[in-house]
């Protein structure tokens, strides 16, 4: 089998560390996960490029830097229990599973969750659980979580997800009124009733579709451009 090790090492240095991400556990995790195994065989040559790539069901595997940046903002550490909304290829879940104790990931497309589950089995990840369904409602039986990452963008942060955070837990999600442009937001649960919100980078994720996200494509007219939710 082809050795992608040098490309992976170069990705970590040039795309991640050079952009200011220095968390040793995170860099180490990215050095270990074979990203080429999370894309179609025809795209393996592009697996370490500095951008997202198409996967099945019209979705994308996120750019490596964005995966690292969300994990950094969510401050995922050893021993953490993590929930991911939007398993997609399974790549981000695998990176998180290198660091966290347990990763629960939900994907609305059964085709993608099946593929991701197969990859986790092949690569012997025993600490990832995959479920097909609407992640905007969370995974109540496995809550509370130290970190929740949404890998798709919604109009606002679902309350159901905030309620599944442990005290001190962080939720990171792309939020915006436009379907394809958002800002990364971190919500930290301060105590039972108080949450602190902070905004980070501008990003472009696929839409979060579900009960507490956008409506199913085609189910109702897509939203028209409206004022920036973080504006004055």
Instruction: Compute the distance between CA of residue 72 and CA of residue 58 in angstroms, rounded to an integer.
Output: 27
User: Is 113 known to be catalytic?
Assistant: no
Near ligand SAH by CB under 6 A, which window of 28-36, 56-64, 120-128, 172-180?
Answer: 56-64
Letter string b/e over residues 178-209, b meaning 16 or more CB atoms within 10 A of that residue's CB: bbeebbbbbbbbeeeeeeeeeeeeebbbbbbb
Indicate whether 203 belongs to the interface with ligand SAH (CB under 6 A): no
For residue 4, the minimal CB distance to ligand SAH (Å) is: 17
Find out whether 55 and 43 touch, Cβ atoms under 8 Å.
Answer: no
Strands 165-175 and 182-189: antiparallel
Query: Which residue of the set 10, 62, 113, 226 is catalytic?
Result: 62
Instruction: Please give the residues from 71 up to 130 whose contact with ligand SAH meets the rule CB under 6 A.
Output: 85-86, 88-89, 91-92, 106-109, 112
* DSSP label of 155: S
Build a one-symbol-per-residue string for 2-31: x at contacts with ligand SAH by CB under 6 A, - elsewhere: ------------------------------
Interacting residue ranges for ligand SAH, rule: CB under 6 A: 59-62, 85-86, 88-89, 91-92, 106-109, 112, 134-136, 151-152, 206, 208-210, 213
Catalytic residue ranges: 62
């Amino acid at each position: 089998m082809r050795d992608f090790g040098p490309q992976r090492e170069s990705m970590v240095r040039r795309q991640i560390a050079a952009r200011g991400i220095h968390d040793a556990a995170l860099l180490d995790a990215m050095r270990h996960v074979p990203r080429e195994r999370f894309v179609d065989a025809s795209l393996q040559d592009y697996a370490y490029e500095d951008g997202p790539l198409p996967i099945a069901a019209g979705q994308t595997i996120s750019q490596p830097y964005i995966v690292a940046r969300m994990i950094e903002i969510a401050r995922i550490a050893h021993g953490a229990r993590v929930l991911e909304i939007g398993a997609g290829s399974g790549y981000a879940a695998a990176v998180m599973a290198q660091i966290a104790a347990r990763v629960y990931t939900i994907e609305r497309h059964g085709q993608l969750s099946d593929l991701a589950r197969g990859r986790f089995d092949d690569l012997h990840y025993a600490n990832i659980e995959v479920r097909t369904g609407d992640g905007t409602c969370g995974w109540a039986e496995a809550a509370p979580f130290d970190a929740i990452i949404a890998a798709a963008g919604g109009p606002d942060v679902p309350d159901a997800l905030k309620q599944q955070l442990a005290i001190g837990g962080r939720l990171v999600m792309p939020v915006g009124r436009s379907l394809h442009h958002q800002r990364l937001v971190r919500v930290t649960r301060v105590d039972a009733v108080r949450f602190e919100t902070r905004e980070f980078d501008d990003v472009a994720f696929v839409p979060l579709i579900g009960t507490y996200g956008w409506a199913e494509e085609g189910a109702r007219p897509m939203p028209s451009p409206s004022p920036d939710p973080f504006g004055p």
